[in-house]
Amino acid sequence: MRDHMHLMRSKRFLPLFVTQFFGAFNDNAFKNAFLIWFTFDVATDSGINAPMMVTLAAGLFILPFFLFSATAGQFADKFEKSRFTRKIKLVEIILMIACSACFFLGSIYGLLLVLFMMGVQSTFFGPIKYSLLPEHLNDDELIGGNGLIEGGTFLSILLGTIFGGLIIGTSYGVELLALALVGFAFVGWISSRSIPLTPVGDPNLKIGWNIFRETWKIIGYARAERTVWLSIIGISWFWFVGAMFLTQFPIFTKQTIGGNEQIVTLFLTIFSVGIGIGSVWCNKLLKGQINGRLVPYGSIGMTVAIAVFVAASFHYSYDRLVYLEQVLNYQDKILSLAEFFSVGLSSWGIIAGLLGLSVCAGIYIVPLYTIMQHRSDDKYLARIIAAANVMNALFMVMASVAALVFFSIDFTSIEILLAVGVMNIPVFFLVRGIVKRRLEVA
């Protein structure tokens, strides 16, 4: 088996990687810039509640995955994927130009419409991205390719989120943001032109426009092979855990850490980088073989890491009181990043638990994506991936609902994350079923 990094020099993989990277970067740069711009510059004058706008924006971006995933899967199976990708990326350039115009005009509703359309664009690209990999890569490259895509995706999410938040706050924030978003969209379109041609999955497919019937149909395709369906449920659970932690970081930092936004950024960075490390490391551990033997270890590792994170968080609350008494003379202040690390060993325990969780999550998720691709019928591959996107979106919505339920019964953010760790225990037994089906291929 060759080192999977050779893929980064291959025309079979690099153009897709670059296209995906800048697409995810733009999505998150735009979303975070819009939310910060609205919260700090517009909310007071507009009379619109900022938390409500954050919730609405998140809902508008994820709604297209419910509405149009079935249609996107059909298009990806019916048409040649590389040409279709180029059209999608041209649409992204148009959307980024529209986004820039709306920022200049100060149009909140125009930006919400662009955000929704970005969700639509991402919905149509999703099935293409994951169905191109098994068509361009050899079997012994598939784990490595998925690891690089997954790691690159989370890195681009992190960098895009930080970039959008920082640049919108500068003196010429809107102008610089507009230039960057359009420029990166153009880079994505240029790279998409180098994606090699692929065989058409089902050229005789007749597109069904009834979104409810077609969504049910693609879920039926996914459930036809039990191993594929178990993999999809396992993938969706990853997004449940990820959504729960990412949405709790600001609240956890405020309630438990007593820290500023720099600490939120630190947690986001560790979470994203850790998933990238686990995703890339997975290929070395499996030596390019397509099997699920690491998935249960990743699952139980996530539970152990959450336990470490929660235990350290409870201990941190005591350490912080001691720190405030001995160092700050009872001055209850918002801690800086440096002060957070000065509180005690519990601070490092929180970091270790979070890093362990994210690395194990990367090890957990990559084999599941690879198994789903490898075991799916080529004729229905893009539609099965579209079904996975529907389930992922559903589980992320469930995470939001679960968080609201927990808060309604007076759970703290630490207790919510502990509950996630407990709920993760049965997942270990679910994913063991994937291993038992003897998925290993030489």
| Predicted confidence (pLDDT) per residue in 88-124, tens digit | 999 999 999 999 999 888 888 899 999 999 999 999 9
Q: According to the model, what pLDDT value does residue 304 have?
A: 95
Domains of the chain: 1-209 (1.20.1250.20), 223-442 (1.20.1250.20)
101 with 340: CB under 8 angstroms? no
| Predicted confidence (pLDDT) per residue in 344-394, tens digit | 899 999 999 999 999 999 999 988 888 888 888 778 888 898 999 899 989
Rounded CA-CA distance 186/177 in Å is: 14
| Predicted confidence (pLDDT) per residue in 290-304, tens digit | 777 888 889 999 999
Q: What sign does the dihedral 63-146-281-286 (CA atoms) show?
A: positive
| Predicted confidence (pLDDT) per residue in 22-51, tens digit | 999 999 899 888 887 877 666 556 666 666
CA atoms within 13 A on the CB side of 387: 26
Angle between helices 226-252 and 261-286 (to 10 degrees): 150
Band (146; pLDDT cuts 50, 70, 90): confident
Instruction: Say yes or no to pLDDT of 326 above 80.
Output: no
CA distance from start to end of the chain = 11
Rounded CA-CA distance 434/360 in Å is: 17
- pTM as predicted: 0.83
| Predicted confidence (pLDDT) per residue in 163-173, tens digit | 888 888 788 88
Q: Which of 47-56, 197-206, 228-237, 420-429 has the lowest mean pLDDT?
A: 47-56
Instruction: Say yes or no to pLDDT of 210 above 90.
Output: no
Q: According to the model, what pLDDT value does residue 437 have?
A: 56
Residue at token pair 């201990």: 315
Q: State how far the alpha carbon of 82 is from the alpha carbons of 96, 137, 368, in Å.
A: 21, 15, 24
Q: According to the model, what pLDDT value does residue 357 have?
A: 95
Residue at token pair 């420029």: 183
pLDDT (average), residues 329-334: 67
Band (198; pLDDT cuts 50, 70, 90): confident
Instruction: Say yes or no to pLDDT of 149 above 70.
Output: yes
Residue that wins the pLDDT comparison between 250 and 115: 115
Q: According to the model, what pLDDT value does residue 442 have?
A: 36
Q: According to the model, what pLDDT value does residue 440 have?
A: 44
368 with 229: CB under 8 angstroms? no
Q: What are phi and psi of 335, to 5 degrees?
A: -80, 145
Rounded CA-CA distance 118/95 in Å is: 7
Amino acid at 66: F
Rounded CA-CA distance 312/341 in Å is: 13
Q: What sign does the dihedral 195-201-207-212 (CA atoms) show?
A: negative
